[in-house]
Amino acid sequence: MNDEQAMVDVAAFYNERARRNPSNPPTRRDVAAFAGVSLSTAQRWLEVLEARDLLCFPIRRRMRGSRR
């Protein structure tokens, strides 16, 4: 499977889970586990998918200064 197809699958996974629970969309860890990629790759894919407007909910971002 190529990266483009994997990203389409990730978008479908993300959107499905986010629709089920909009207040708690999937994290990059969830995406990495689903796709079998590293956290940095999952983050990059999420950013690309969001920039392409393919995610139904924005990706969660940590507030500046907060830990965890």
Q: What is the pLDDT of residue 29?
A: 95
Highest mean pLDDT among 3-7, 38-42, 61-65: 38-42
| DSSP assignments along the chain, one per residue | --HHHHHHHHHHHHHHHHHH-TTSPPPHHHHHHHHT--HHHHHHHHHHHHHTT--SSPPP-PPTT---
Mean of pLDDT values over 21-33: 93
pTM for the whole structure: 0.84
Task: Determine what percent of the chain is predicted with pLDDT higher than 90.
Answer: 72
pLDDT digits (tens, 9 = 90+) for 39-50: 999 999 999 999
Q: Is the pLDDT of residue 65 over 80?
A: no
